[in-house]
Structure 1
C-alpha cells in the first residue's frame, strides 16, 4: 500500500485482528462442550488454512494492482527475492536514523507493556487468589479491550491518520499512559489499574500498531522486509526482557512501591517524544519519496 492508502485502510485492517480476538474465545467457550478439544484444534487448523489462502489471494491482488509511479520510495520487483544474509536487517537499522527511531519506539513500547504486565500480575494475585476468578477477570478485561479496539479501528483510526497525521497515532497513547502511571503511583488500586490497562491495550491495538505499520510505507523494500523483521522480533523481545529485569529490580526495593510507576511515567513520556519525532520524519519522507532511496 502507498502511504495514502495505509492511512485510510490500516485501521480497518487491524480491526480484523481485534475481531478475531473477540470472537475466538467466544467460539472456544461455546463449542468446547459439543466438539471437545480435538474439535477445537481441527477448527483452529481450518482457520489457519483459510488465513493462508487469503494470503495467497492478497499477493495475486497486489500483482494485479501495482502502485502508481512515485507512490513508493523505490521501485521494487514483485517476483525477484531480495537475497542477502540474515544479518542485513540489523545492519539496515544500525545505519538508518529513521529505523533507529522506530527501534527505540518499539523498545519503549515493550518497556511500558512489561511494567504494566508485572503490576497486573501483582494486583490480580492480591485481589483474586482464586484461579477461576482470575480467569474471569482477565476474560472481562480482554472483552472490553477488544470491543473498544474494534470501534476505534473502524470509526476513528483512519480519520485520525488522514486528518491529523501518523504522529498523532503514535503520541496519543503514550501521553495517556504517562498520566496513568502517575495516577497509579498516587492511587495504587485495582480499579485504577484496570482503566490504565484497558486504555493501553485498546490504544495500542487501535492506534499505535497501525501507526507503526504505516511508518514502513516510506522506506525502500530492503528496509521494509528485512529491518522490520529484525525490529519486530529481536528488538521487541530484547526490550521486553531487559525491562522485565529492571521492573523486578525495582520491585525488590519494597520501601519505594511507587518508584516503578514514576519511572514508567518517564518511559512513557520518552515514548511519546519518540513517536512525535517519527511522525515528523515520516511526513518529510512522504513529501520527498526519493529521499530514502538516496540516503540508502
Structure 2
C-alpha cells in the first residue's frame, strides 16, 4: 500500500515509517507549544517582539558552538537523544514554573525565547539526521513522504490546541508535548539501529570531528552553503514581516491568553491544511513536469505577488490566503527540495554548517527584520509600506533559489534524467 504513494524498497519501509513517526511527533509537539509561545510573546505588546528575537539570536550564538562540540566528539546515536532529553527536562521545568505562576511575565518571555531556540534546533537536527541517514538517491524518493509526516503532525498538534486550549488551559498541553518528544527520542534510537543493521556503516555513525567553529568557517568559504544561508535570510525576513502583521491582527481581536493561543493555532491550521493538500495532489505532478527550479521558485514568487496584493488591497481574508498559500508552498515544495540539497555535502557540512544556517542565520534574519520593521515605522511607513519594502527581498530570494537549483553540484547529484520522475513522485 505504501508503494502507491512513494517508490520505496523493501529494506527501506521500516526506516521510512519510523522517520514519518519521528517527524510527526516532533512537529506535533512543537505546534502544541508554538501557539502558547506566540500568545505569551504578544502579552507584553508587539513592541517587545524585537527584544525577544534579539535575545533568541544571542542564545543561538552560544548554543551552536556547544552543539558543534557535541557532534565533534559523540556519535549521532548518543548526541541526538541527549539533546532532545535535555530539552525535555527544561520543558518540564517551564511547566512547573507556569503552573506555580512564578514571575509570570519573566517566565513567559523566557519561554518565548526557549521555544524559538527549541524549534530550530530539533528540526535542524532532524533534517541533518535524515541527510546523514539516507543517500541522495534515497532522498529523492523518500523525503517527500517523510515531510508529509511533519505536516500531519502539525495539523494534529494544532487541532489539539484548538479543541483543548480554552477548556483545559494551554499550559497543561505542555505535558502532551513532553510525551511526544520522548516518542521522537525512541524513533531516533530505532533509526540508528536500522542504519547499523542494514547498511553496516559504522564510520557514518561515529563522531563528526572538527572544531566547534567549523560551521562558520564552512559557511564563509563555500559559495554553495553561502547561497543556502542567503536563501534562509530572505525567507526569514519576509516571514517575520508577515508574522508581525499577524501579531497585530490577532492582538486586536483576541485579548486573553487562551483566546490568543486558539487564534494563532487557527491561522497555522489553515497553512498546514493547504500544505497537505499540495503534498497530496499538486507537488508530484508539478515536479514531474517542471522540476527542481520551479519547486524552489514558487515560494518567493508567491511572496512577491502576495505582499504587493496585500499592500494594494489589505484585508483579513487576503492575509489568511497569502499566509496559507505561501506557507503551503514552502513546506510542500521548497523545504523538501532544500533539504535534498544538503545530501550533496559532507557530514561536517550536514551537522555543523547546517546548524549554523538553520539556527544562527535563521534567527539573525528574524532579528534584522524586527528591527528593520521598527525603523520603517519610525519613518512613517505603515503596513503597506512594510509589505512593499519586502518586495525587493523576495526578488533577491528568487535569484538565489534559481542559482541553487542550477548549481553544478545539484545537477550532478539530484537531477539525473533517469531519476527525475522518481524525485518528482517522492516530493
**Fold-level match, TM-score > 0.5?**
yes
Deviates more, 1:75-84 or 1:92-101: 75-84
* Counterpart in the other structure of 1:107: 233
Q: Is residue 138 of structure 2 the alignment partner of residue 5 of structure 1?
A: yes
Q: CA deviation at 1:135?
A: 4.7
Q: Against the structure 1 CA distance between its residues 140 and 37, is the aligned structure 2 distance closer, same or farther, given a 3 Å change threshold?
A: closer
For residues 61 and 165 of structure 1, do their structure 2 counterparts lie closer, same or farther at Cα, with a shift above 3 Å needed?
A: farther
Aligned residues: 281
Specify the alignment match of 1:25 in structure 2.
Answer: 158
Question: 8 Å contact 1:144–1:198 — kept in the other structure?
Answer: yes
Q: 1:178 aligns with which of 298, 304, 317?
A: 304
Aligned position for 1:284:
411
Q: Deviations over 1:81-106 (max 9, x none)?
A: 12122100110111111000000000
Alignment of 1:1-296 (within 5 A): 1-28=134-161, 40-66=173-199, 77-126=203-252, 128=253, 130-131=255-256, 134-158=260-284, 160-161=286-287, 164-254=290-380, 257-281=383-407, 282-286=409-413
Distance across 1 between alignment mates of 2:380 and 2:168? 48
Cα separation, partners in 2 of 1:63 and 1:255, compared to 1, 3 Å: closer
- Equivalent pair of 2:341/2:410 in contact (CA under 8 Å): no
| More moved, 197-206 vs 24-33 | 24-33
Per-residue displacement from partner, 1:58-81 (whole Å, max 9, x unpaired)? 1222233439xxxxxxx9922331
Assess, with a 3 A threshold, how the Cα gap between structure 1 residues 76 and 258 changes in structure 2: closer, same or farther: farther
Unaligned runs of 5+ in 1: 68-74, 290-296
1:165 shift after superposition = 3.1
Cα distance in structure 2, aligned partners of 1:106 and 1:43: 31
Report deviation, 1:252: 2.0
Sort the Cα spacing of 1:257 and 1:236 in 2 relative to 1 into closer, same or farther, 3 A: closer
The Cα of 1:215 is off from its aligned counterpart by 0.8
Q: Is the 8 A contact 1:7 1:158 kept in 2?
A: no
Q: CA deviation at 1:15?
A: 1.5
Q: Secondary structure at the match of 1:175?
A: helix
Q: Please, which moves more after superposition, 254-263 or 231-240? A: 254-263
- Which consecutive residues of structure 2, in runs of 5 or more, have no partner in the other structure? 1-133, 417-427
Contact (CA 8 Å) 2:162, 2:266: kept in 1 or not? Answer: no
Residue deviations 1:158-200 (CA, integer Å, cap 9, x gap)? 5545553333222101101100111111112222211111112
Q: Write the distance in 2 (CA, Å) between the matches of 1:190 and 1:37.
A: 25
Compared CA separation, residues 180 and 30, structure 1 to 2 (3 A)? closer
Give the Cα separation in 2 of the matches to 1:79 and 1:255. 52
TM-score by length of 1: 0.83
SS state at 1:84 partner:
coil
Q: CA deviation at 1:204?
A: 1.9
